[in-house]
Amino acid sequence: MPELEVCSYEGKPLLIATVPHWRGPFYLKAEGPEKGVYVRLGSTNRMAGDELLAELQRSLGGSTYDQIPIPDVTMHDLDMGRIEQAFASVGRVVDERKLETMGVLVPYTGKLTVSKGGIILFGCDKVRESFFPDARVSCARFRGTDRTDFIDCLDIEGSVFNAMDEVPRFIRRNTRMAARIGGMRRQDIPEYPEVAIREVLVNAIAHANYSLTGMHILIAIYSDRMEIQNPGMLPFGMTMDDFRSGVSKVRNRVIVRVFRELGLMEEWGSGYRRVLAACQDMGYPNPDWQELGSAFRVTFYPLSESNVPVNVPVNVPVNVPVNVPVNVPVNKRQQWFLNQLGAGKRVKSIDLAHHWNVTEKTAKRDIADLKNQGMIEFVGSPKTGVYHFKE
């Protein structure tokens, strides 16, 4: 009940009502605290489920899901090779103290354990898959404008962090590439804005709601658009107008902190404007942002023929076959493999996998890409044969 007090102000009686503050969540009394909490979605209200209620309680307490410690999971359950490789790419060395500063390691019952965010990003495969089987990224290329007919698909192995390399490669091999000729130079023009897509991909990984079960990050390419979708609506209390105006609210503090340390993102809420600028500067249509129940989706549209720069061929096939050779830049693992061949060494997929601490399936896919591009070939029997540069 509010406290009432009568006092005098400038010779007149004044009634002061003091109402105790309650953090919430607020609910309809008739329905109770478990069934009576509603959230706004566009122009409608919907009842908050158990997972949304849990996220709301965490936000009221000032913590995020990925900061929660996982009991009995220690630093030994982290893939230190993956961590060292990630930070070496930006010239950084990471030790136990730095991992604690970033929130990857957190104190729990007098000892250091690993946070949920730490396992999502850098957990050993067996541990991560045990706790977070839905923390993954799936890609698909469809023939038409719906999901009826697959052309290509890829479930990215390992941490969602691996998607930063794998998703751009999947997109390049499943979309068109035109060329602008100016003087003696050729400039490749991708069908979709690569810089903007990378920005949205980073945000999808950083702001996904990993507490939702049965949902994961999806990249879908259709004949007329590309969609990047992550689990989770905008953080509580944030609207689409806030998002467009540059308001920043972090859902996963650990993941965002790690990404900031790696130079992948910042926390100034400028991502929306950067995506728009990247599209507009190159003549791409503006993307669409949508809240869809318990997911958030960004839709990109291809460069139209009317916006293709001069001297760019427009009669490129729409339905790209799965294994068509394209001008895909090599990644760092593939470059290492080529360097070994150039030095006269006999290397195979197992050598690439061990050197870069990836699965042999990933290594074989790297090598298959090089073969599809016509850069290398395998000569001899499966057991004794070797890779050579293709003449």
**Alpha carbons within 13 A on the beta-carbon side of 161:** 24
Average pLDDT of the segment spanning 185-208: 90
- pTM for this entry: 0.68
Matching fold, domains 137-307 and 332-389: no
Lowest mean pLDDT among 44-58, 163-177, 330-344, 371-385: 44-58
**Domain extents in the chain:** 22-62, 65-131, 137-307, 332-389
Classify residue 75 by its DSSP letter.
G
CA–CA gap between residue 151 and residue 190 (Å, rounded): 19
Q: Domain spanning 332-389 has what CATH number?
A: 1.10.10.10
Model confidence pLDDT, tens digit, residues 205-214? 999 999 998 9
Average pLDDT of the segment spanning 229-238: 86
- The string of DSSP codes covering 259-286 is HHHTTS--SSS-HHHHHHHHHHHTTPPP
Average pLDDT of the segment spanning 239-255: 88
Classify residue 212 by its DSSP letter.
S
Model confidence pLDDT, tens digit, residues 120-158? 999 999 999 999 999 999 999 999 999 988 889 999 988
Q: How far does Cα 290 stand from its chain's mean position?
A: 16
Check pLDDT > 60 for residue 162. Answer: yes
Mean pLDDT of all residues belonging to the chain: 84
CA–CA gap between residue 288 and residue 285 (Å, rounded): 9
104 band by pLDDT with thresholds 50, 70 and 90: very high
Check pLDDT > 80 for residue 364. Answer: yes
Q: Would you state the pLDDT for residue 343? A: 74
CATH class of 137-307: alpha beta
Question: Higher model confidence: residue 23 or residue 293?
Answer: 293
Q: Would you state the pLDDT for residue 310? A: 44
CA–CA gap between residue 366 and residue 313 (Å, rounded): 29
* Three-state secondary structure call for residue 253: helix
Model confidence pLDDT, tens digit, residues 80-91? 999 999 999 889
Model confidence pLDDT, tens digit, residues 293-337? 789 999 999 987 545 444 433 333 333 433 333 444 678 888 888
Q: Would you state the pLDDT for residue 245? A: 87
Q: Would you state the pLDDT for residue 267? A: 64
CA-angle at 310, arms to 308 and 311, nearest 5°: 105
Percent of the chain clearing pLDDT 90 (strictly above):
43
Percent of the chain clearing pLDDT 70 (strictly above):
83
Quick one: tokens of 93? 């060395």
41 band by pLDDT with thresholds 50, 70 and 90: low
Task: Yes or no: say if 347 and 191 are a contact pair by the CB < 8 Å rule.
Answer: no
Residues forming a β-bridge with 388: 377
